[in-house]
Structure 1
Amino acid sequence: MEFNLFQSLFPNGVFLFDIAGLFMSMFCTYLFINAIYFLSLHPLAKVPGPKLCAISRIPYWIQCFKGSDVKWIHRLHVQYGPMLRFGPTDVSCASADAWKEVHGHMKGQKDMDKAPEFYLPPINGVPSMLTASFDNHARVRRFFSPAFSERALKKQEPVFHRYVDILVSTLHKLSAQPVEMTRLYNFATFDTMADLCFGHPLGLLEKNQFSPWVNAIFESLQTLPLLAMISYYPIFNAIFTRFQPKSVTRQRIAHCKHAEERVNQRLRQGSNQPDIWNLVMEASNSGKGLSLSEMHSNAEIFMLAGSETTATLLSGLTYLLLTNRDKMELLCKEVRRAFKTSQDINFEATASLRYLNACLREALRVYPPVPIGNPRVVPPGGQAVLGVWLPAETRVSCHHWSTYHSEANFKNADQFIPERWLGDPTYAGDVTDAHQPFSWGPRNCIGQNMAVHEMRLIFATVIFDFDFELCDGSRDWIEQKTYGLWMKKPLMCRLYPVSR
Structure 2
Amino acid sequence: MLSTLILSLIASGVLYYIISAFYCVTFHPLASVPGPPLCAFSRIPYWYVSFGGVDVFWMKRLHDKYGPVVRFGPTDLSYASAEGWQEVHGAKVQEKAVEFSPQPVNGVPPVLTATHPNHTRVRRLFSPAFSARSLKAQEPLFQKYADLLKHKVSEVGQDGQKPVDIGALLNFTTFDVMAELTFGQNLGMLAKTEYSPWVASIVESLKMLPLVAMINYYPLLRVTLFERFQPKWIAEQREAHCAFSADLVNRRLKVGSKKPDVWNLVLDDKGKGLTLEEMHSNAELFMLAGSETTATLLSGAIYNLLRSPRCFAKLVDEVRNAFDSDGKMTLENLGSLKYLNACLKEALRIYPPVPIGSPRIIQQGGQMILGTWVPPETRVSVHHWSTYHSSSNFTDPNSYVPERWLGDPKYAGDAFSAHQPFGSGYRNCIGQNMAMHEMRLIMATLLVGFDLELCAESEGWDEQKSFALWIKDPLMIRARPRSRGRGDKL
TM-score w.r.t. structure 1 length?
0.94
The structural deviation recorded for 1:101 is: 1.1
Q: Equivalents in 2 of 1:314, 1:112: separation in Å? A: 31
Given candidates 38, 45, 48, the residue that maps to 2:34 is 48
The structural deviation recorded for 1:18 is: 4.2
Which structure would you say has the larger Rg?
A: 1
Alignment partner of 1:186 is 2:168: no
Given candidates 258, 263, 270, the residue that maps to 1:277 is 263
Q: Equivalents in 1 of 2:306, 2:466: separation in Å? A: 22
Cα displacement string for residues 41-73 of structure 1 (whole angstroms, at most 9, x for unaligned residues): 100001000000001000000000100000000
- SS in structure 2 at match of 1:414: coil
1:423-442 equivalences under 5 Å are 423-442=407-426
Match of 2:17 in 1: 31
Q: Equivalents in 1 of 2:274, 2:15: separation in Å? A: 53
Match of 1:200 in 2: 185
Match of 1:99 in 2: 85
The structural deviation recorded for 1:117 is: 1.2
Match of 1:256 in 2: 242
The farther-off stretch of 326-335 and 238-247 is 238-247
The farther-off stretch of 220-229 and 19-28 is 19-28
Q: Equivalents in 2 of 1:456, 1:494: separation in Å? A: 20
The alignment-based identity, stated in percent, is 57
Contact 2:451/2:483 (CA < 8 Å) preserved in 1?
A: no
Alignment partner of 1:314 is 2:298: yes
- SS in structure 1 at match of 2:354: coil
Q: Equivalents in 2 of 1:499, 1:50: separation in Å? A: 55
Given candidates 209, 222, 226, the residue that maps to 1:224 is 209
After superposition, the Cα gap between the structure-2 partners of 1:222 and 1:380, relative to the gap in structure 1 and judged at 3 Å, is same
Given candidates 374, 384, 387, the residue that maps to 1:400 is 384
Match of 1:422 in 2: 406
Contact 2:300/2:351 (CA < 8 Å) preserved in 1?
A: yes
Alignment partner of 1:57 is 2:43: yes
Contact 1:280/1:290 (CA < 8 Å) preserved in 2?
A: no
The structural deviation recorded for 1:342 is: 3.7
Match of 1:171 in 2: 153
Alignment partner of 1:129 is 2:111: yes
Structure 2 segments unaligned to the other structure (5+ residues): 485-490
Q: Equivalents in 2 of 1:320, 1:238: separation in Å? A: 45
- Letter of the 1:332 partner, please give it: V
TM-score w.r.t. structure 2 length?
0.96
Q: Equivalents in 1 of 2:55, 2:146: separation in Å? A: 35
Q: Equivalents in 1 of 2:261, 2:197: separation in Å? A: 24
Q: Equivalents in 2 of 1:181, 1:82: separation in Å? A: 36
The structural deviation recorded for 1:392 is: 0.3
Match of 2:353 in 1: 369
Match of 1:266 in 2: 252
- Letter of the 1:151 partner, please give it: R
Contact 1:143/1:279 (CA < 8 Å) preserved in 2?
A: no
Q: Equivalents in 2 of 1:382, 1:167: separation in Å? A: 50
- Letter of the 1:59 partner, please give it: P
1:464-475 equivalences under 5 Å are 464-475=448-459
Cα displacement string for residues 283-322 of structure 1 (whole angstroms, at most 9, x for unaligned residues): 236xx24111111111000010000000000000010001
- Letter of the 1:165 partner, please give it: D
The structural deviation recorded for 1:17 is: 4.8
Q: Equivalents in 1 of 2:448, 2:393: separation in Å? A: 34
Q: Equivalents in 1 of 2:9, 2:239: separation in Å? A: 43
- SS in structure 1 at match of 2:77: strand
The structural deviation recorded for 1:19 is: 4.0
The farther-off stretch of 227-236 and 359-368 is 227-236
Match of 1:234 in 2: 219
- SS in structure 2 at match of 1:44: coil
Given candidates 145, 152, 155, the residue that maps to 2:134 is 152
Q: Equivalents in 2 of 1:291, 1:29: separation in Å? A: 50
Q: Equivalents in 1 of 2:65, 2:143: separation in Å? A: 47
1:66-77 equivalences under 5 Å are 66-77=52-63
1:353-364 equivalences under 5 Å are 353-364=337-348
- SS in structure 1 at match of 2:373: strand
Given candidates 356, 361, 364, the residue that maps to 1:380 is 364
1:441-452 equivalences under 5 Å are 441-452=425-436
Contact 1:63/1:72 (CA < 8 Å) preserved in 2?
A: yes
Contact 2:297/2:351 (CA < 8 Å) preserved in 1?
A: yes
Match of 2:487 in 1: none
Match of 1:413 in 2: 397
The farther-off stretch of 224-233 and 170-179 is 170-179
The farther-off stretch of 135-144 and 23-32 is 23-32
Q: Equivalents in 2 of 1:101, 1:465: separation in Å? A: 45
Q: Equivalents in 1 of 2:481, 2:369: separation in Å? A: 52
Pairs aligned (count): 480
Q: Equivalents in 2 of 1:254, 1:146: separation in Å? A: 30
Contact 2:394/2:415 (CA < 8 Å) preserved in 1?
A: yes
- Letter of the 1:199 partner, please give it: G
Contact 2:325/2:449 (CA < 8 Å) preserved in 1?
A: no
- Letter of the 2:337 partner, please give it: L
Match of 1:113 in 2: 95
Q: Equivalents in 1 of 2:279, 2:5: separation in Å? A: 56
Q: Equivalents in 1 of 2:394, 2:448: separation in Å? A: 31
Contact 2:167/2:295 (CA < 8 Å) preserved in 1?
A: yes
Q: Equivalents in 1 of 2:5, 2:332: separation in Å? A: 76
Match of 1:3 in 2: none
The farther-off stretch of 292-301 and 335-344 is 335-344
The structural deviation recorded for 1:437 is: 0.2
Contact 1:56/1:88 (CA < 8 Å) preserved in 2?
A: yes
Q: Equivalents in 2 of 1:28, 1:274: separation in Å? A: 61
Match of 2:229 in 1: 243
The structural deviation recorded for 1:439 is: 0.2
Alignment partner of 1:482 is 2:482: no
Q: CA RMSD in A?
A: 1.1
Match of 1:453 in 2: 437
The structural deviation recorded for 1:242 is: 3.1
The structural deviation recorded for 1:344 is: 1.9
The structural deviation recorded for 1:244 is: 2.6
The structural deviation recorded for 1:347 is: 1.9
The structural deviation recorded for 1:181 is: 0.8
- SS in structure 1 at match of 2:114: coil
The farther-off stretch of 448-457 and 139-148 is 139-148
Contact 2:101/2:212 (CA < 8 Å) preserved in 1?
A: no
The structural deviation recorded for 1:384 is: 1.0
